[in-house]
Amino acid sequence: MSDTTLRNATDRVWPEDGVTRVPAWIYSDPEIYAKELKVFHYGKTWNFVGLDCEVPEPNSFKRSWVGERPVIITRDAEGEIHVVENRCAHRGSLLCWKNRGQAKDITCPYHHWTYNLSGDLMGLPFLRGVQGKGGMPRDFDKSKNGLTKLRVAVRGGSIWATYSDEVAPLEEYLGPEILMRLDRLVSRRPLRLLGYSRQIVESNWKLYWENSRDPYHATLMHPFLSTFGILRTDGDYHSVPLQEGRHEYTYSQYDPELKNKTSEASKQIKSIHSDLEVKDKEVVSSVVDEFKDGMMGAFQVFPTILVQQYFNCLVVRHVIPKGVGAHELSWTYFGYADDDETINRLRLKQSNLVGPAGFVSLEDSEVLSLMQPVVESCPDSVQVLEMGGHGTEAQSTMMTETLIRAFYDFYRREMGL
């Protein structure tokens, strides 16, 4: 056993070269992971938990997660949204086992303690015992034994939760650039839920977090993107870190002519297979510019989601940590309540681009799950992040790792590393 594996997380020292080097131990050290959950997910952040179209009417619920903790989003009889821990206040058993549904109250399967949809304990069997024997003490106070309630914020059709009393209001936490992009997708029209994909990726959550801040890999590892002109190195592209690295967004102007052009840049990329064909071209060629701005893009809201628009496919990727070496990716596809049949069909068709077996996305989880055992086996190795220089500023190119550097700039401050 090397010294590294015996060292305490608190003794960890970041490499001298700052954010251009990322030490591999951050992907496998259980103490680092525990601290991340405490500082990030259970700390002063807003966690995305779901969309309002997932709890569409009074008396509905949806399971979600904040960090590793299971939570339930509920909409009570009055229509108000709550987020409570999915953990019985009695013995800690998982209360709600169903992903979504309708209910007037929540009853624990273990001892049948019953809570209302705002998390208050309504009753428990045999409170007064049986035939004068047993039961709870007289001073047992139901009002003090409800579910743990999280602070909730709703923005347009998006629902957020936090354990923190100190974190700034959601709007301030997101900031104007993210708010504008979030509102563009979820606040202008009522949402319609189209469906889910869910997958377990056997890698530390940060490997995925970096992956979605890494436009450099996109045209190389995902041949589908370059072949069909969805994203090209010679297209217009912007990588913009926000709030000193906390959040970020990327965007490009969609150019339907780009796929017919060749340029010096595109010839350099080996993975552009011009002989790759797709039988149903509608998945890449039929686009409705529904926001009237020709913009395609994605944004990341720390620490839980990447929201992405591929043509008319709108999807939230929810990154849910599942131990130091795994995370779940929960993809929620949505459209709008007033969508016509044409655009609804396009959204569904284009959703084939993403998800666990997506034409574009399938390589990510494969590469990352093979990467995890490698970084685990070499905790003292470092990653090199010099594409686009050493800085953390916004850049108008895909050929940059500025977004990852900006993230680690933020990460180191928050984690004290």
Partner 1 sequence: MSDWVRIADASEIADDEPFASEWNGEAIALYRHEGEIFAIGDICTHEHVRLSDGWFEGDRIECPLHQSCFEIRTGKVIEGGPASEDVASYQVKVEDGAVFVKRGI
Minimum Å gap between C-beta 372 and partner 1 is 46
Closer residue to partner 1 in complex, CB, 91/188: 91
Closer residue to partner 1 in complex, CB, 103/326: 103
Closer residue to partner 1 in complex, CB, 112/390: 112
Binding site for partner 1 (CB under 8 A): 104-105, 107, 112, 114, 116, 122-128, 130, 142
**CA–CA gap between residue 263 and residue 409 (Å, rounded):** 35
Closer residue to partner 1 in complex, CB, 114/243: 114
Minimum Å gap between C-beta 149 and partner 1 is 18
Minimum Å gap between C-beta 107 and partner 1 is 8
Minimum Å gap between C-beta 128 and partner 1 is 5
H-assigned helices in 7-107: 30-36
The alpha carbon dihedral of 256, 257, 258, 259 has a sign of positive
Minimum Å gap between C-beta 122 and partner 1 is 4
Polymer length of the chain: 417
Give the pair of three-digit tokens for residue 233.
């190195």
Q: Is 143 helix (H, G, I), strand (E, B) or coil?
A: helix
Minimum Å gap between C-beta 124 and partner 1 is 7
135 burial type by CB count under 10 A (0-12 exposed, 13-18 middle, 19+ buried): middle
**CA–CA gap between residue 363 and residue 355 (Å, rounded):** 10
Closer residue to partner 1 in complex, CB, 95/346: 95
- In the DSSP assignment, the letter for residue 39 is I
Closer residue to partner 1 in complex, CB, 17/105: 105
Side chain identity, residue 131: Q
Q: If we measure between CA atoms, which residue out of 34, 13, 38 comes closest to residue 23?
A: 13
